[in-house]
Amino acid sequence: MYSSVEFAGSYIAAHYTSVSSERVRWDALSDEDKTVYLNNAFEAIEALPFGGRKAVLGQETAFPRLPYQYGKTDEGAPQRVKLAEIELALWLSDERHKTSQKRAQLIADGVKSFSVGDLSESYSEASDSIQTLSVKSCKKAMELLTPYLSGGHDLC
């Protein structure tokens, strides 16, 4: 993970009101569940096609990254990446997104269309993993990560 549960809690408290559904939902989670959501967000972010290169040969994580962090490679991930991880974890913790996550899984599994009664959906061919599709679904995370992504990456 790029962010800790404590840092995520501080960020969410500073950016979401005490009565917002996002903050209420996050505060209700156990630290164990918060860690799971942050880990899932981290894994999804790690699957993205970032520009540049890893700062250190053999580095396990995508960040720190050159040329974005010349002279700052000891800081780990940039602040924007840490905040994107938190925003994505918060988004993943919302049960209302289960439908879009199931849809993303169908696309990642290669499903091209399906029908249930009068409802039908069709999907274009997926070249993205389920993790990439999850990040793309979280607009705030994508806005934060855009400066680091390689070209040709859909934002909608």
pTM of this structure:
0.76
Helix, strand or coil, per DSSP, at residue 74: helix
Task: Compute how many other C-beta atoms are within 10 angstroms of the C-beta atom of residue 121.
Answer: 13
Question: CB of 26 within 8 A of CB of 9?
Answer: yes
In residues, how long is the chain?
A: 156
Question: Dihedral sign, CA of 114, 118, 124, 128?
Answer: negative
- Report pLDDT digits (tens) over 43-56: 999 989 999 999 98
Q: What are phi and psi of 115, to 5 degrees?
A: -135, 145
Helix, strand, coil percentages, rounded to 5, for the chain: 55, 10, 35
Using alpha carbons, select from 132, 85, 84 the residue that is nearest to residue 104.
132
- Report pLDDT digits (tens) over 60-116: 999 999 988 887 777 889 999 999 999 999 999 997 765 555 666 665 666 667 677
